[in-house]
Amino acid sequence: MINPADKNNPIDNLRILVIDDDPIYRELIGIAIEKLGHTWHSVTNPMEALQALEIAEDNKEPFSVVTIDLDFGPSAQQNKQTGGIEIFPIIKRRYPDMACIIISGASGINPQDILTLRDAYGLGHYISKDRLDPETLDLGIKKAFEQVRTQHNTHTSEAIKPNSLPLTEAEEKRRPSVFISYSHKDEVEKEEIMSHLGVLAYDGLVDVWVDDQIEAGQDWLEDIEQAIRQARVAILLITKNFLNSKFIRDNEVPRLLERRKNEGLIIIPVIARPCAWQRVEWLTNMNVKPKNGAPVWRDGGSHVDDELADIAEVVADILDRA
């Protein structure tokens, strides 16, 4: 593997993994790759991509670059497959020195999503499919390599990562009290509940942590782990997006349940929108909000403020007793 983190490595004869469900674009991307003198392998969905990356590592023929589509179409959604937004952090977590490029033709892409992937997770470059050609791809690869080198230098320049140290007494006193776990697809709902908790935060009663507080260049996984470790209360914003998020299911939920079992962390599942939460075993064993599991956003939203205000009061009472 040509390691993007090594600035002395030339950017040539790369092995590139193409993740795209559209056979025409897979071929077009492959042609552009070959014109640049690189080799490529393609897969049709994110799960196949993870398998291909593992096999390549086992065979000691790892990839140096991955290109990722964002939209894998209705069939992937129906099968609850992980999408491009969700798979990207997983790839970067497992292969931090992988140069990553998004090549997508998805309409309605939120620019903030791209900035989040770049700043929090190390996305190297974004290319719109209608602008794809060898020259644009070559530029994208170079920018992706540079992004990896920047992150690598940032991490290796720290002898000890501050977030890996035990919490000091001062840190314990100012630690976040409430951790909010949510899907980024539910940003609107998250902002609503934040506004109600913000009333308490303004008066110094509650400290609230959400992942958009992670600054560019920080170790986002370590930041999330520390926030979970510091929390006294965790609010889970339950929607179909939350339940379908592989990152939340595989990373945040197990850690929160572990703290609940071993340290008494109080978890408040908030049924935000209609979803099959009753089929999730660990959820059925908890007291959900609102009462009886009626979704907050129901009946045209007429109950939203009442329900969220009640949840904010519950949180305040819990922290008053802590």
Instruction: State pLDDT tens for residues 47-75.
Output: 888 889 989 988 889 999 999 987 765 54
Percent of the chain, pLDDT > 90?
33
More confidently predicted of 314 and 71: 314
Q: How far apart are CA 269 and CA 288, in angstroms?
A: 5
CA 86 to chain centroid, in Å, comes to 6
pLDDT for 95 beyond 60: yes
Q: What confidence score (pLDDT) does residue 9 get?
A: 54
- Segment 70-89 mean pLDDT: 58
213 by DSSP, 3-state: which? helix
* Residues in a beta bridge with 268: 235
Q: Does domain 15-156 have CATH number 3.40.50.2300?
A: yes
Q: What confidence score (pLDDT) does residue 250 get?
A: 87
Q: How far apart are CA 181 and CA 286, in angstroms?
A: 16
Q: What confidence score (pLDDT) does residue 208 get?
A: 83
209 by DSSP, 3-state: which? strand
Q: Which CATH number fits domain 165-321: 3.40.50.10140, 3.30.420.40, 2.30.42.10, 3.40.50.450?
A: 3.40.50.10140
173 by DSSP, 3-state: which? helix
Q: What is the DSSP letter of 284?
A: H
Asked whether the domain spanning 165-321 has the same topology as the one spanning 15-156, the reply is yes
Contacts of 101 by beta carbon, 8 Å cutoff, 6+ apart: 65, 66, 67, 68, 123, 124, 125, 126, 127, 137, 140, 141, 144
Kindly report which listed range (176-190, 205-219, 280-294) carries the lowest average pLDDT score.
205-219
* 155: confidence class by pLDDT, cuts 50, 70, 90: very low
Domain boundaries, the chain: 15-156, 165-321
Alpha helices (H) in the chain, listed in sequence order: 23-35, 46-58, 73-78, 84-94, 111-121, 134-156, 169-173, 187-202, 220-230, 240-244, 246-247, 253-263, 281-284, 304-321
Contacts of 226 by beta carbon, 8 Å cutoff, 6+ apart: 163
Tokens 């089929």 correspond to what residue? 279
pLDDT for 146 beyond 90: no
Q: What angle do CA 82, 84, 86 make, to 5 degrees?
A: 55
> Backbone dihedral region of 172: left (phi > 0), alpha (psi from -120 to 50 degrees) or beta?
alpha
Output the pTM of the full model.
0.48
In 180-204, which positions are buried (b, 16+ CB within 10 angstroms) versus exposed (e)?
bbbbbbbeebbebbbebbeebeeee
In 37-46, which positions are buried (b, 16+ CB within 10 angstroms) versus exposed (e)?
ebebebbbbb
Q: What angle do CA 13, 16, 19 make, to 5 degrees?
A: 165
More confidently predicted of 80 and 316: 316
pLDDT tens per residue, range 102-136: 888 765 566 666 666 676 667 888 888 888 999 99
DSSP collapsed to 3 states, 98-158: CEEEEEECCCCCCHHHHHHHHHHHCCCEEEEHHHCCHHHHHHHHHHHHHHHHHHHHHHHCC
Q: What confidence score (pLDDT) does residue 205 get?
A: 62
Q: What confidence score (pLDDT) does residue 110 get?
A: 62
Q: How far apart are CA 239 and CA 277, in angstroms?
A: 8
pLDDT for 17 beyond 50: yes
Q: How far apart are CA 31 and CA 27, in angstroms?
A: 6
Kindly report which listed range (171-175, 180-184, 292-296, 309-313) carries the lowest average pLDDT score.
171-175
Average pLDDT, the chain: 79
Q: How far apart are CA 121 and CA 202, in angstroms?
A: 30
- Segment 265-269 mean pLDDT: 95
